Amino acid sequence: MSREDIPLDLEQQAAYDAAYQFLQQPDLGAFRAPIATLVSMDSSVPSNSDMNEFPVTVITPTKGQHALSRAVEELDGLEKEEAMLKERSPLAQQLTEIITKQSYTSSRHAIASLHEAGQVVPRRVCQHPFRKNDIVWVCRTCQADETCVLCHNCYSQSDHEGHDVAFYHAQAGGCCDCGDPDAWDPAGFCPHHGPNVQASPSEVTAVLPSGLVHRVRGVVPAAIDWMVQVIAHNAESAYSRVHARPRKVSAAASTARMQEDSDVASSDRMEIDVEDDSEYTDDSDDERSESLNPLGLTHNHGGPHPNPLGTPHVFSPEAASSSSSKKMDAVARFHEQRAAMLGSTGSSGHGWYLVLHADDIHSSTQIADAIREFLGTSNYYSDALLQKVIRALRQYGQLVIWGNLETVAQVGPTQYHLWMDQDSVASSRIGAMMVERSNRLAKHRLFCGMVTRDELMMEQRAVALLQWLSEVARSCDPLCQTVAECILPNRHLVPLLRADFKMSARVTKAWYSLLLTLLAVPTFKSHLAAAYCDTYRYVTSKYARGMGVLERSGYTLSVQFLNRVTYVVDLVKGRDLLG
């Protein structure tokens, strides 16, 4: 895969650096919008050791069910509040100031200024994103296929007299196709959209603020690079922390080869670099390799024959016993180092949180049983209450079900504060506790991630960032074109699509909204179609194993290009899809 670069001049590089440094700043502050959580997100933990005065948590004996019930009730209105995160976060204000070289009093003021500047430049394609219960119009006379629709404003201003029309109330997702000749008969466009209303480059230069488009070309690559390097990476790490296990011992260390050097090499491969999650393996990698190699054979890279059974070996009971002992020692060392690493990472990130993700596989009964086992037996959690929890899980795509206060309730304030002070014994103890707690869900094959408080804050920052990028792209066609050109196939689209099911549902919702807006740019649609095909096998393998929710995934994007002849022909030719 070749490295993709965006040439930047000095001003654009300065904009890139300023944006990336802002996104990376460690002062994360408080949550600016509620998140889908059943536990407190308060970062302050009392230092007193009297647990009778400690805040009630979802695992507090005899009181946990009341805390859980209140937490579910407080989720009402969450989606509306998060939709306005771009205005509540300072991010939009800061990034808009970078691209405009102007000052603003608030993020709301900054976003309004972008739209005010873009209003003088007509949009070729509407791309209005549908929210839940929006009116969506269908004209079977004008649409290219049944997925092509108009928003209420465009339909009201277009001529469909005598046509076969209908309307319905939308679910969240999708966008208006007015102005796109591949999706809609131009005779059915409203007067504000279509090729005839596109502004010339000279008109764009004259009406948009000086240097705006130029500096956007520096900020957008910084934003999407940060999404890949931080958000997608954190999502992969959150998954691997829960599902990690020692790497399998290769055939070189099996009873067929019991030399001492092979045993030592095998043990070394089980060692964990405490600074690097990449040393983890997860069940998906192992199961994928096992499905391709059901006998568990490993290539013998040290000789000319790939089949390790090609050369006979003599079984040695003494060597087998020695190897078994070394394997057990290596596994024990793995778990010790894993606990120590988790403890250290958690204290550096201001605490651990467990996030349960929704899926299409498990029934309500299965999820309820798993949650009961996860929370423990110190409380009675009624079926009605757990059904409310499960409905919330499916509504929001994920729920935070364990946090700092639950950790304190488990180990006590003294151990918690020792952990926060990087005490090695306390860190290992809490790391082991988090493994045990997450295993209660993993044993039921539920998908959960282990994230720090700082990583949850980064997710919130990512949502605000993607919402702001959508506002930039929707403001006018020149900025939409520029944003689309700065999101590259292999550098950005492929890694973000691969992390689809592992990323926060909050993040993917905002990410897909941005992609829908950018699909108005034909070249970007081609790039997205190619990235979709390149990641399809990997993402599908995850979904087949029970990860993710179909209607919340990148699969929903396929109708934007797989039902268009032009894009399908290119994909079939370029990727041998029918071969």
Residues 265 and 364 grouped into a single domain: yes
Give the domain extent around 185: 135-198
**Where does a domain end: 198, 227, 249?**
198
Q: Are residues 333 and 242 in the same domain?
A: yes
Establish if 487 belongs to a structural domain. Answer: no
Residues 463 and 343 in one domain: yes
Contact 348, 33 (CB under 8 A): no
Q: Tell me which of 290 and 517 has the higher pLDDT.
A: 517
Distances (CA, A) of 111 to 22, 118, 145: 18, 11, 35
Angle at 433 between CA 427 and CA 437, to 5 degrees: 145
pLDDT for residue 507: 96
Q: How many helices (H) and strands (E) does the chain have?
A: 24, 6
In a domain, 87, yes or no: yes
What is the SS3 assignment for 44-103?
A: CCCCCCCHHHCCCCCCCCCCHHHHHHHHHHCCCCHHHHHHCHHHHCCHHHHHHHHHHCCC
Of the residues 467, 489, 509, the one at which a domain ends: 467
pLDDT band at residue 253, thresholds of 50, 70 and 90?
Answer: very low
Residue that finishes a domain, picked among 432, 452, 467: 467
Together in a domain, 51 and 149:
no
Number of structural domains, the chain? 2
Which amino acid type is present at position 37?
Answer: T
Say yes or no: 224 and 346 in one domain. Answer: yes
- Residue 515 within a domain: no
Nearest alpha-carbon partner for 95 in 411, 372, 467, 502: 467
- Do residue 178 and residue 315 come from a single domain? no
Q: Calculate the average pLDDT of the chain.
A: 84
Q: Which of 69, 413, 64, 15 is nearest to 211 (CA)?
A: 15
Q: Residue 172 sits in a domain of what CATH number?
A: 2.10.110.30
Is the same domain home to 299 and 422?
yes
pLDDT category at 564 given cuts 50, 70, 90 is confident
Residues 6+ apart with CB under 8 A from 325: none
- The count of C-alpha atoms lying within 13 angstroms of the C-alpha of 246, restricted to the half-sphere facing its C-beta, is 20
> 68-72, 189-193, 250-254, 400-404: which has the minimum mean pLDDT?
250-254
Taking only the tens place, the pLDDT of each residue in 181-197 is: 888 999 999 998 988 77
Distance CA 430, CA 416 (A): 8
CB 72 within 8 A of CB 389: yes
243 plus 288 within the same structural domain? yes
Whether 277 is in a domain gets the answer: yes
Residue 98 lies in a domain: yes
175 and 264 share one domain: no
Q: Are residues 296 and 247 in the same domain?
A: yes
pTM exceeding the 0.85 threshold for the entire prediction: no
Residues 139 and 116 in one domain: no
Please indicate, yes or no, if residue 554 is contained in any of the structural domains: no
- On whether both 272 and 171 belong to a single domain, the answer is no
Within a domain: residue 378? yes
Nearest to 165 by CA among 190, 187, 143: 143
Residue 531 lies in a domain: no
Higher-confidence position of 171 and 316 = 171
